[in-house]
């Protein structure tokens, strides 16, 4: 099992008291999977996102509101996957060739 910590960058100005940290976990035994966790820390009252859990439903356009997103790309390839995760439980993933 391998762990890769990361810190996300905000699009636009971010309050100095806010950070988004996370961790990728991969290579667990024979499972071909990646586990991703996010933690939003700091002054959260000024963020406009739904804090109440809704569902595990797929939904387009999450990136236009509030979501955590990450990208997975094979080394030496232009193809990649984008994953959007909303605090309310909605999610979406996209596959791109370039």
User: Structure tokens of 49?
Assistant: 């996102």
What is the C-alpha to C-alpha distance for residues 77 and 67, in angstroms, rounded to an integer?
26
CA distances from 47 to 28, 41, 54, 67, 82 (A): 35, 12, 18, 11, 23
Please write the tens of the pLDDT for every residue from 34-47: 888 888 887 777 66
Q: Is the pTM of this model over 0.85?
A: no
Q: What is the pLDDT of residue 71?
A: 87
- Whether 86 has a pLDDT exceeding 70, the answer reads yes
Please write the tens of the pLDDT for every residue from 3-35: 888 887 766 776 667 778 888 888 776 667 788
CA atoms within 13 A on the CB side of 69: 19
Average pLDDT of the segment spanning 62-79: 84
What lies within 8 Å, CB to CB, of 43 at 6+ separation is 15, 17, 18
What is the C-alpha to C-alpha distance for residues 41 and 89, in angstroms, rounded to an integer?
19
What is the C-alpha to C-alpha distance for residues 56 and 53, in angstroms, rounded to an integer?
9
């Amino acid at each position: 099992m391998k762990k890769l910590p990361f810190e996300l960058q905000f699009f636009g100005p971010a309050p100095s008291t806010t950070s988004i940290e996370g961790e990728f976990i991969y290579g667990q035994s024979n499972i071909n999977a990646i586990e991703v966790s996010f933690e939003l820390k700091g002054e959260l009252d000024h963020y406009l996102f739904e804090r109440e859990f809704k569902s595990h439903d797929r939904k387009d356009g999450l990136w236009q509101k509030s979501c955590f997103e990450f990208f997975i790309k094979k080394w030496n390839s232009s193809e990649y996957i984008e994953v959007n995760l909303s605090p309310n439980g909605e999610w979406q993933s996209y596959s791109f060739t370039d």
